[in-house]
Amino acid sequence: MTSYMNKLLTALTVAALSLPLSAAAATFTLSASQTDQSWMSSPGNFEIGRFSLQSNVGDIISLNSSVTLIDQGWGGENPDNGVSVRLFAGETSIYTLHVAGANHSWKTDTYSLASNAADFAGINAALDNADWGAGVTVRMYTNAWGYPGWELHTRNSSLDMTTGVIAVPEPSSYAMLLGGLTLLGGAAWRRRDKTTT
């Protein structure tokens, strides 16, 4: 009987490990033709757009942006006068990626999360610890300083993001596993019944 139970447990383990998983990647795309900010009319953070994430998101697999921008201001070029992508739980920013810095002449900045290992680890750690009950979003912002004379202009801003989804067995897999367990249980019951008579 022990040999039969070992075979049964082995069969159940193999069946459970071979359940087909329903996993998919979700892709988000955001674009804006232009933003224009100045210290007089619209300083500070300006939201270009956002993505709302579902609670079954595993990781942010890729995040790529491209922004053409110019910073017109007195003094040096301050990188804070630029574009960022931020992870929010509710209305609390829990991680920030600086994706484009300002420049006194038009330039195009590109950013790839895959090329920034520290950012990849950081944003996914923040995502793992996010308060999903508050709602989790990814938002793209421009940030023009509120100092006299400062302006920030962007053209052709784009953000592409792909998230992995936590794999869940398909319902038909559960049905097949239950059917198999029923057959194995029936066979064990019949075998036990034959050995006792």
Taking 70 as the threshold, does the pLDDT of residue 118 lie above it?
yes
8 A C-beta contact, residue 127 and residue 97: no
The predicted structure's pLDDT at residue 10: 67
Taking 70 as the threshold, does the pLDDT of residue 178 lie above it?
yes
Taking 60 as the threshold, does the pLDDT of residue 119 lie above it?
yes
Question: Mean pLDDT across the stretch 33-45?
Answer: 85
8 A C-beta contact, residue 168 and residue 22: yes
Select the more confidently predicted residue: 150 or 122: 122
pLDDT tens column, 44-75: 889 999 999 988 788 899 999 999 998 876 65
Taking 70 as the threshold, does the pLDDT of residue 150 lie above it?
yes
The predicted structure's pLDDT at residue 167: 58
- Nearest CA-CA partner of 83 in 17, 118, 26, 31: 31
Under 8 Å CB-to-CB from 29, ≥6 apart: which residues? 158, 159, 160, 161
Q: How confident is the model at residue 7 (pLDDT cuts 50, 70, 90)?
A: low
Q: How confident is the model at residue 141 (pLDDT cuts 50, 70, 90)?
A: very high
Q: How confident is the model at residue 109 (pLDDT cuts 50, 70, 90)?
A: very high
- Nearest CA-CA partner of 141 in 101, 190, 84: 84
Select the more confidently predicted residue: 172 or 128: 128
The predicted structure's pLDDT at residue 176: 73
84/65 Cα distance (integer angstroms): 10
Token duo for residue 99: 């994706």
Based on its alpha-carbon atoms, the radius of gyration of the chain, rounded to whole angstroms, reads 27
Q: Which H helix or E strand runs over 57?
A: strand 57-72
Name 53's bridge partners. 136
Q: Which H helix or E strand runs over 87?
A: strand 83-89
Select the more confidently predicted residue: 163 or 23: 163
